[in-house]
Amino acid sequence: MVEYLPRSAWNARPPNGGPGNLTVSRVEGAVIHWPGTGSTSVIHSKAAVASALRGWQDYHMDTRGWSDIAYQVAVDQAGRAWTLRGLRTQSGANGDTDVNERYGAVLLILVTGEQPSAAMKATTRGVIADFRRIYPRGTAIRPHSAVRPEPTDCPGDPARAAIARGEFTPGHSEDDDMTPAQMQELKNFIEARTQAYALWTHRQLRKDLSAVVKAYALDIKNYERQTDAADAARAAAAVWATAPRSLQVDGTPAVDEPAAPDPNADPDLSLPDLDPFPDTPAEEAPASNGDQPTA
């Protein structure tokens, strides 16, 4: 909520009658104004603002014949909000009775060529938020030049541009207040960072993928070696399980070991037949007299 300086803060004159309060159902939004003095002398101090408000009230009441200063609320460059007619009282600043019944009126205390300060914009957003709480359908924010039946340059180019950028809209952040050049610079920065990040990610993924491929290839080789060894061992076991018992593991004929004697059987006392004259080579056999070779 905005803290509003009372009318006594600028020593306002009492109003001379007035049009009464706005009708909630008719209000469409708020209109932004400026004094339009044509001067470039800034009005920043509290005393200077109070003096200016008294002067505008005198002009509106004494010269224009209006009931009071025309606006509802004023906001200065320091971010101070000044109560003029008040948000509920119909303004006399928008151009004619119909427009005054459909819109409120907020005065920005700006001089020719002056940019609204961050404090002014922040307080104006607060005033607009308060206005919308009273008039829920009054969401529009328009420059005076957009609603006045007759042409006007109010509220000046800087304020008009701020309205177009949404800088007086409740919820707007000052971080969003960027010139086109700043926006382009930010866009270029984001694009450069995005490309750099994409390149870094690509390189990292290539490194990681290369490491994964190498590790996978090594695992495959180790698996194949282990699998081949295991398969060979299983194949050998299968071969030797079906091999003749007369073969040793290395493939040489096995030597049968003699069977152990049966302790319950009589021993075999028979002897094998022995040849008293074993075969001898012919050249070593003894010669007989009757068999002398003839000459």
Residues 198-234: pLDDT tens digits? 888 777 777 777 777 777 777 777 767 777 777 667 7
Q: What is the distance between the alpha carbons of residues 154 and 96, in angstroms, rounded to a whole number?
A: 15
Quick one: pLDDT at residue 284?
Answer: 45
According to DSSP, the β-strands at 81-83 and 4-5 are parallel
Quick one: pLDDT at residue 185?
Answer: 75
Q: What is the distance between the alpha carbons of residues 113 and 37, in angstroms, rounded to a whole number?
A: 11
Do residues 153 and 44 touch, judged by C-beta distance below 8 A?
no
Quick one: pLDDT at residue 193?
Answer: 81
Quick one: pLDDT at residue 63?
Answer: 96
Q: What is the distance between the alpha carbons of residues 80 and 48, in angstroms, rounded to a whole number?
A: 13
How confident is the prediction along the chain (295 residues), in pLDDT tens digits per residue? 789 999 999 999 999 988 899 999 999 999 999 998 888 899 999 999 999 999 999 999 999 999 999 999 999 999 999 999 999 999 999 999 999 999 999 999 999 999 999 999 999 999 999 999 999 999 999 999 999 888 899 999 999 999 999 999 998 776 555 566 766 777 787 888 888 888 887 777 777 777 777 777 777 777 677 777 776 677 667 666 665 555 555 555 555 555 555 656 655 555 555 555 555 554 444 444 444 433 3
Please, which residues bridge with residue 82 across strands?
5, 74
Per-residue tokens: 62: 């004494």
**Phi, psi angle pair for 142, to nearest 5°:** -130, 150
Do residues 54 and 10 touch, judged by C-beta distance below 8 A?
yes
**Phi, psi angle pair for 286, to nearest 5°:** -70, 140
Which 3-state string (H, E, C) describes the chain? CCCEECHHHHCCCCCCCCCCECCHHHCCEEEEECCCCCCCCCCCCHHHHHHHHHHHHHHHHHHCCCCCCCCCEEECCCCCEEECCCCCECCCCCCCHHHHHHEEEEEECCCCCCCCCHHHHHHHHHHHHHHHHHCCCCCEEEEHHHHCCCCCCCCCHHHHHHHHCCCCCCCCCHHHCCCHHHHHHHHHHHHHHHHHHHHHHHHHHHHHHHHHHHHHHHHHHHHHHHHHHHHHHHHHHHHHHHCCCCECCCCCECCCCCCCCCCCCCCCCCCCCCCCCCCCCHHHCCCCHHHCCCC
